[in-house]
Amino acid sequence: MLDAYTVNLIDKVIPYVNDSIWIGKMDKARWRISMNGWGNDQETINELAKLEAFHKPQFILPLYNEFKDNPIIKWRDTFIRDLI
């Protein structure tokens, strides 16, 4: 899940990673929330909208640029596809 704290989280966990950190976007978030019986209240809808905003190119491009040369960071295809 990508949000405003993704860079901070990566910086904190990377010293403990032996293999890789995969970065990608949430898949079918609205559907998953509704299937779990959530998402019918305005607060949940507003929070989901905030998270979805971080999946737009203006947020993910700087994240990609920051970590693109780090061999530990791996990128999901959907993440890269949306940058093109």
Domain map of the chain by residue range?
6-81
Closest CA to 83 of 60, 50, 51: 60
User: How far is residue 17 from each of residues 12, 29, 35, 62, 69, measured CA to CA in Å?
Assistant: 10, 27, 33, 22, 16
At 2 the pLDDT is 67
pLDDT at residue 79 above 80? no
Residue 37 has pLDDT above 70, yes or no: no
> pTM to 2 decimals?
0.69
Mean pLDDT score of the chain: 81
Residue 41: pLDDT band by 50, 70, 90 thresholds?
confident
Average pLDDT over residues 5-17: 90
